[in-house]
Amino acid sequence: MMIRCLLIVVSIAVARDADADAAKLAVFVGGTQGDTASNTLQNLWRRLESADPTQTTVVFTGNYTAVGEFPEKNSDQRAQAERDVQVHIDAVEGFLARGGPVFFMPGHRDYRNGRGAVRRLRAFVNQRVRLARSQDQAEDDDFDAMPNADCGEPYAIELNNTIAVVLLNSAWWMQDWAAHPKTNQGCDIKSRSEFAEAFNSLTKGYRTRRMLVAVHHPIDSLGPYGGSFDGIDHLIPPIFGTIAIWAKQTGLLPEYRNHAMFDSFASTLKAVSKSPRAHQRNGWYNRAGAPIW
């Protein structure tokens, strides 16, 4: 189940004393599916059947299709991409119909070659999500299941007055803006330093509350994206496997932790205490400074 996809369930106790309600909030965080046969999406569907939509939130953190970025309508790969994305909608369809909140974030494969692909993905996701929601909800023209997908603004989802889930667009950060100068056109945040300022300001607002951060790329990693490989990885293929590992460990590839751009993003988020993400496919939940891998 963990080969192709990832699902983290974070249960957050709302009650702080014996007289308070014993209700709990549940946040399902999933990413790196890209597989129409995903057992994890089937498990998510089963878990959501009995979930309270007023106490539950679902966040998908990117990489929705095996074909890479979401293609244009005239592409031969468009039908496959639509099927891959649709299985995510199918997994949460009943939950959406009951009013449950579901959000989608872009991953590194969704955001290649500029913002065109992620905009196509956002339009498709919102179209299908609105079809799955009830008629009363679908009339809400402001609803966006993929907020700020092609911009860098942090997006806060208030679960109640004590806790929020914040979506951070790491795929936006990792883009080569020199090659795509229109990346930030129409966005409030137009630089990485502005993103850092906005995120710092947001965290200050939660000093007395709890904030769960969802992000595609990991802050730290003990897996391949952090530079850790098994001996067999050097042999697949022979010689070239070792060369590939060397490139990943020395920061030559942008999707790996030692790359300068990746490192700058992680350094910006180091103060965050809880951060589920999908890029590594083995999400972690960090409580009181102690990572659980």
Q: Residue length, the chain? A: 293
- Cα–Cα dist 5/197, whole Å: 32
Contacts (Cβ under 8 Å, ≥6 apart) of 39? 1, 5
Please report the pLDDT score of residue 22 as a whole number.
Answer: 38
Closest to 107 in 3D by CA, of 45, 164, 153, 174 = 174
Radius of gyration of the chain (CA): 19
Buried b (16+ CB within 10 A) or exposed e, 116-141: bbbebbbebbbebbbebbeeeeeeee
DSSP β-ladder status, 6-13 and 163-168 = unpaired
pLDDT at 48: 94
What local confidence, expressed as pLDDT, does residue 160 receive?
87
Low-confidence ranges of the chain (pLDDT < 50): 1-5, 13-22, 222, 227-229, 235, 246, 251-252, 272-293
In contact, 113 and 71? CB cutoff 8 Å: no
Strand pairing category for 155-158 and 102-104: unpaired
The DSSP bridge pattern shows strands 155-158 and 56-60 to be unpaired
Cβ atoms within 10 A of the Cβ of 57, count? 22
The CA-atom distances, in angstroms, between 14 and each of 10, 52, 156, 165, 209 are 12, 14, 18, 14, 11
At 118, list the tokens: 């992620």
pLDDT in tens, 118-133: 999 999 999 999 999 8
